[in-house]
Amino acid sequence: MWPAEDAWRAPIGDFPPPWASAWGDDPYGLWADLTVNGVTQRMRWIEPSGPEGFWMGSTKQERAAIENKDVRAWADKSEHAPRRERVAQGFWLADTPCTQAFWHAVTGTNPSYFKRGADAPKRPVENVSWVDVMAQFIARFAQHPDWGTGERLCLPTEVEWEYAARVGTRTAYWWGNQVDYRRANWNERHKRTTPVDRYPLNSCGLYDVHGNVWEWCSDAWGPRRDALGARSDEVFRVVRGGSWFNHPGSARAAYRLRRPGGGASWDLGFRFALKFPGGPEARGSGAGR
């Protein structure tokens, strides 16, 4: 399937992965389905960046165009100028935020605020803290070897998150710099979350990377990446992507926000990843897992 010169991009020895109930290749790339208790989440293979890396961060011009002054001020404080970052290893990433149906299949509970209505199972689970995700969801997979993932399940790093959201672009959103209400749920337009597949997907095959719910990342909060002598704050965790409740400027690919790891609210969800089980670091190098 992969030409020899592109072999570094492929999940060598891991396709189809052992946890997959179905798999294939389409215009967006490789996919594999993870099924737990009859509920399926599609996973997308995110190729490593290669030695050239990708452009992470935002320009002054992009930040200056943010209409909301508070969002603009925070962006100026927490975002760095575009710089190349590398993703050493490819990884599998859920094509949607975790749904209420999939959370329930894994944990047997549903803490969501927006859990009424026929379409609730396809809405993102929310009202989950970072601690909840780690203890109630991710830890469950390690406890159930029959699900096939072992200890591979995790949250993406914020480098991985932005890399997958951008898909090679350098614009505010994957489609460009314009705020487009046809492509994302934000700014309280619907007054609630929407089904995770309602809006168009990006060229990696991912839905809702902008808006709907904030997505927890694995990282402890740290200041902008170009800050000298910066230290991480383990009390806070990074969230990305904006939400239905927030201004579109906070849903840009570069925007980063902190939330207490033990905090939960009606705009906080997550998108999970599966680590590559092994392989040479030479598939790229740098800021991978």
- 144 within a domain of the structure (yes/no): yes
Predicted confidence at residue 8, as pLDDT, reads 81
Domain residues for the domain of 195 are 27-283
Secondary structure (DSSP) of 176-211: BSS--TTT-B-TTSSSS---TTSSPP-TTS---SSB
In a domain, 213, yes or no: yes
For the domain that residue 260 is a member of, what is the CATH number?
Answer: 3.90.1580.10
Which of 6-20, 182-196, 205-219 bottoms out in mean pLDDT, i.e. has the lowest? 6-20
What are the tens digits of pLDDT across the range 193-213?
Answer: 999 999 999 999 999 999 999
Is 138 part of a structural domain of the chain?
Answer: yes
Give me 262's structure tokens: 């033990």
User: How far apart, in Å, are the Cα atoms of 221 and each of 230, 235, 252, 269?
Assistant: 10, 8, 18, 17
Q: How confident is the model at residue 7 (pLDDT cuts 50, 70, 90)?
A: confident
Cβ(261)–Cβ(129) below 8 Å: yes
Dihedral (Cα; 84, 90, 94, 98), 10-degree rounding:
-70
Residue 2 lies in a domain: no
- The answer to whether residue 49 is domain-embedded is yes
Residue 201 resides in a domain: yes
Share of the chain above pLDDT 90, in %: 86
What are the strands, taking DSSP E only, across 130-277?
Answer: 153-154, 214-221, 233-240, 256-260, 268-270, 273-275
Q: Who's near 266: CB < 8 A, 6+ residues apart?
A: 112, 113, 114, 126, 127, 193, 245
pTM for this predicted structure = 0.94
Q: Is residue 153 part of a domain?
A: yes
Give the chain's domain count: 1
Q: Is 150 exposed, middle or buried (0-12, 13-18, 19+ CB in 10 A)?
A: middle
- Cα gap 192→201, rounded to integer Å: 20
Contact 173, 62 (CB under 8 A): no
Query: 194: closest CA among 267, 271, 111, 106?
Result: 267
Residue 14 lies in a domain: no
For 83-125, how does the pLDDT look when each residue is reduced to its tens digit (9 = 90+)?
999 999 999 999 999 999 999 999 999 999 999 999 999 999 9
Is the pLDDT at 74 greater than 60, yes or no?
yes
Q: What are residue 209's DSSP bridge partners? A: none
Instruction: Find the mean pLDDT for residues 238-257.
Output: 98
**Average pLDDT for 171-200:** 98
